[in-house]
A and B are shown apart, each in its own frame.
Chain A
Amino acid sequence: MSGTAFLEAIIDGILTGGVYALMAAGLTLIFGVMDIINIAQGIMVILGAYLSLELSVHFGIGLLPGLLITVPLMFCLGVAIEFFFMRRLHDEDRTKMSILVTYAVAIVIEGILTATFGVNYQQLSASYVNSSVYVFGFYLPDIYLIGFGMAIALLVGLYYMLYRTKFGRAVRASLQNRTAADLIGIDVNRVRTISVGIGVGVTAIAGVFFGATNAFNPNSGYDLISRLLAIVILGGMGSIAGAMGAAVFILVINDVVAAWWSPTWAPIVYFVALVVVLSIRPQGLFGRAAVRTQ
């Protein structure tokens, strides 16, 4: 493999890694605040992609303007799921139970998507999906750049929100010590609901970029969630910075192996990497052991 192709694979990996980091950030935020692993995160990205598809095909609303509609919709979906299901999970088995409950939510969404759209593969299109710019000897597709830029902007925004705003403090407080948060007047339930809303809301944005760069059908959620889980676990559950690092790490491995060897073996390589890393460092590459006291 030539050096250029190698470099190109790395750049590709970093750019797509940004979008994955966004999806993973949502997942890790939900885990951080609620101790809940949202298995439905993958299918929600696909749902976001289908919503954008509908808007652009039937209503002529462009992918990016359409986000003004899809993001609030997905936010509401997250709020509803938190209210109806996650809130009702209690005590010691919470994380484990949440995996099953959100898995069930995922298959319901998958069923609805299959019933509505069938199983044929779709892809989002727009003028900037197929165009690209030429930088330093590489052709970089516009959609990758837009996606990367937007993901980074959102992640920075998320970081700012968590560490600089009052709401962010409330989020971190309820994450670190629920009882104490209650006792200083934080409405923990509301904080959690909004956090889950945000965590799910970002899937609408990720959906556009995933849908524009990949062919998808209602089944694609499995592949996606397995990658996202790999990312958040590697990054250390609950750590947004870790999720970013791990997303780029995994996507770069993916793209390099795909370019170097074969696309079919790429996922195997990073799943193996995941298994190896976790059996040596169970808290993940970037995670710290036992962050919380509760």
Chain B
Amino acid sequence: MSNLIEVSGIVKAYGGIKALAGCALEVREGEINGLIGPNGSGKTTLFNVITGYEQVQQGLVKFRGVDITNAPPDRVFGLGIGRTFQLTRMFARLTVLENVLVATQREEGWARSVTRLAGSQLERARALELLDFVGITRLANEPAGNLSYGQRKLLELASLLIADPAVLLLDEPAGGVNPTLINHLSDRIKDLNRDGKTILVVEHNMEFVMGICSRITVLSQGSTLMAGAPAEVRSSPAVLEAYLGADEEEAALDAELRRELDAAAHANATRLASVQATVVREQGPDAGSPREPEAAGPGASVRTRPNGPPPLLQLSGVCAGYGGADILKEVTLEVPEGAITCVVGPNGAGKSTVMKTVSGLLRPRAGEVSFRGERVSGMTPKQILAKGIAQIPQAHSLFPEMTVQENVEMGAFTVGDRRLVRKRLAAVQELYPVVRDRAHEKAGSLSGGQQRLVEFARCLMLDPDLIMLDEPSMGLDPRTRSMVFDMVALMNRQGKTILLVEQNARAGLKLSSHGVVLENGRVRLTGSGHEVLTHPEIGALYLGGAVTATAA
């Protein structure tokens, strides 16, 4: 097998930070090569370099032996390297079919391209064939902007295939996609490979990578750690250390992290409790939380609904959506106090919409949201926040140009009392050392995991009773992810009721005492986290099975 793509000695720096420090990569003809590595190891940057979206200072990129270093993207594509993007990109106002037709020709004279129709009979037939291949033919005449996230991934793939590139570079094809679709995607990728396409895929989902790749290249801190067969990579201690080692549940959390956690847990017992006490004292009984002190204990999370007090948050018959179309269709669910409730479900099921409706970003069209028995639907986000409901939205919710400390202080924006703000700041600094250590750095410069912690800290500044977390693990490598989950559990132990939305259903449900399965805007299943996880129907509903059958 010959090398189709050869990359060597690539150096790419932003300011003083090296995103790529001399990394190398070989992609052999006919293989599926998996490019893996922890967050920030430079995978996407390497993609951008190969496809000409970013220029490098040093290094060599060769395709079929031809030097294509720093060649513009259109030329790279013309030579036969097609790519997808981590956050899918498509032409939102063109129809799905037109999206596929954009790339039909590699070279064409100007006069001919003006007079020629957009897509000959033949090209259209081919485009429809490809849509059929990925499974979205019936959406051919929809504007691409109407597609769901998963469908966009499929469209992006189809729009590359029409030009018949020799190599496909896929950037996190399984990211943020439900398990059914992941299976579908991996089948398609295998099909393509069988038809002779060479594939380079970046992915965090190990199961997916190990399942389809014949060879794996590991990046770590901008350089290539190793390349080899999946089994080799799996058993390599170096890779384990850099990356996979932390994947093995809690046991793999390294000592440093564990120490940090222990310290935090210890600190909280004294610190946060006293802060809470001050809240009640200083703000009076109305503004503060009427929470029972004993709710703030580890025991709270095992409380079950039937015998417990009325739920903290209740949605009944909520219909909500954007621009006339309902995404939530009569959603009724309860969030018991002191527990972690996890909402799972396929992409587009309406999980995030539930949160937006509760936090007031979206007004329900019908139904009611009540908090401690009081109706909160119809209130502004600010009023709802004052009731003690806080939401941490999906990734990138910090103010990137503000310092870490400013960000955290912003959490207490609605709190007038400066002394109280200082006190809480001290408490969260204790809890999350990164808030103190990086206090004066811009929030945008932190790593993904650190940003999550700062978001948690910002949220705790208001000392809410209910914290809604929208996919806290999104875009994080396994090690950071398990750290974030531990922090979520810790917040819960400290007495916060948590409503969690997770794409990674297993991890989310394992953490939670209560589970809710949402599908197509309706609640399909509720129960304890364990019940939901082991429910026979969930496999069919969510983790692949029955749905796959209808997908065909």
B398 touches A169 (CB 8 A): no
Cβ-based interface call for A132 (8 A): no
Q: CA separation between A291 and B444, bound complex, in Å?
A: 10
Cβ-based interface call for B390 (8 A): yes
Interface residues of B in 325-347 (CB under 8 A from A): none
CB contact under 8 A between A185 and B381, given known A169-B410, A169-B413, A170-B413 = yes
B400 touches A177 (CB 8 A): yes
Q: CA separation between A179 and B392, bound complex, in Å?
A: 10
In the assembled complex, 14 residue pairs joining A and B whose CB atoms fall closer than 8 Å, in A order, are A172-B401, A172-B402, A176-B401, A177-B398, A179-B393, A183-B359, A183-B393, A184-B458, A185-B382, A185-B386, A185-B414, A187-B380, A293-B396, A293-B444
B396 touches A177 (CB 8 A): yes
A184: chain B residues at CB < 8 Å are 385, 410-411, 413-414, 458, 462
Interface residues of B in 458-481 (CB under 8 A from A): 458, 462
Minimum CB–CB distance from B462 to chain A (whole Å) comes to: 8
Q: CA separation between A246 and B398, bound complex, in Å?
A: 30
Interface residues of B in 394-411 (CB under 8 A from A): 396-402, 406, 409-411
Q: Chain A interface (Cβ within 8 Å of chain B)?
A: 166, 169-170, 172-173, 176-177, 179-187, 291-293
Cβ-based interface call for B39 (8 A): no
A180 touches B398 (CB 8 A): yes
CB contact under 8 A between A180 and B382, given known A173-B402, A186-B413 = no
Cβ-based interface call for B391 (8 A): yes
Q: CA separation between A184 and B462, bound complex, in Å?
A: 9
Having A184-B410, A184-B413, A185-B413, one finds 7 other A-B pairs with CB under 8 Å, namely A177-B396, A177-B400, A183-B381, A184-B462, A185-B462, A186-B413, A293-B396
B397 touches A169 (CB 8 A): no
Q: Which of A166, A176, A182, A185 contacts B399 (CB 8 A)?
A: A176
Minimum CB–CB distance from B278 to chain A (whole Å) comes to: 20
A169 touches B386 (CB 8 A): no
Cβ-based interface call for B273 (8 A): no
Minimum CB–CB distance from B399 to chain A (whole Å) comes to: 4
A166: chain B residues at CB < 8 Å are 413
B361 touches A173 (CB 8 A): no
Q: CA separation between A186 and B361, bound complex, in Å?
A: 12
A293 touches B410 (CB 8 A): no
Q: Nearest A residue to B92 by beta-carbon distance?
A: A92
Query: What are the nearest 3 A-B pairs in CB distance?
Result: A185-B414, A176-B399, A180-B397
Q: Nearest B residue to A179 by beta-carbon distance?
A: B393
Q: CA separation between A292 and B458, bound complex, in Å?
A: 20
B458: chain A residues at CB < 8 Å are 184
B401 touches A182 (CB 8 A): no
Q: Nearest B residue to A291 by beta-carbon distance?
A: B401
B402: chain A residues at CB < 8 Å are 169, 172-173, 176
Q: CA separation between A172 and B442, bound complex, in Å?
A: 13
Q: CA separation between A292 and B399, bound complex, in Å?
A: 9
Minimum CB–CB distance from B445 to chain A (whole Å) comes to: 12
B396: chain A residues at CB < 8 Å are 177, 293
CB contact under 8 A between A183 and B400, given known A169-B410, A173-B410, A293-B444 = no
A172: chain B residues at CB < 8 Å are 399, 401-402
Q: CA separation between A177 and B455, bound complex, in Å?
A: 13
A169: chain B residues at CB < 8 Å are 402, 406, 409-410, 413
Q: CA separation between A170 and B402, bound complex, in Å?
A: 11
CB contact under 8 A between A180 and B399, given known A185-B414, A293-B444 = yes
Q: CA separation between A176 and B444, bound complex, in Å?
A: 11
Q: CA separation between A166 and B411, bound complex, in Å?
A: 12
Q: CA separation between A160 and B420, bound complex, in Å?
A: 24
A183 touches B397 (CB 8 A): yes
B406 touches A177 (CB 8 A): no
Q: Which of A173, A181, A183, A186 contacts B390 (CB 8 A)?
A: A183
B380: chain A residues at CB < 8 Å are 187
Minimum CB–CB distance from B345 to chain A (whole Å) comes to: 21
Q: CA separation between A172 and B401, bound complex, in Å?
A: 9
Q: CA separation between A173 and B411, bound complex, in Å?
A: 11
Most chain A beta-carbon neighbours within 10 Å: one of B359, B381, B402, B444 = B381
Minimum CB–CB distance from B459 to chain A (whole Å) comes to: 8
Interface residues of B in 430-473 (CB under 8 A from A): 444, 458, 462
Minimum CB–CB distance from B319 to chain A (whole Å) comes to: 22
Q: CA separation between A221 and B462, bound complex, in Å?
A: 47
Q: Nearest A residue to B385 by beta-carbon distance?
A: A185
Q: Nearest B residue to A169 by beta-carbon distance?
A: B410
B398 touches A183 (CB 8 A): no
Q: CA separation between A172 and B391, bound complex, in Å?
A: 20
A293: chain B residues at CB < 8 Å are 396, 400, 444
A177: chain B residues at CB < 8 Å are 396-400
Q: CA separation between A186 and B413, bound complex, in Å?
A: 7
Q: CA separation between A179 and B400, bound complex, in Å?
A: 13
A173: chain B residues at CB < 8 Å are 399, 402, 410, 413
CB contact under 8 A between A182 and B361, given known A177-B396, A177-B398 = yes
Q: Which of A176, A182, A292 contacts B381 (CB 8 A)?
A: A182
Q: CA separation between A179 and B362, bound complex, in Å?
A: 11
B444: chain A residues at CB < 8 Å are 293
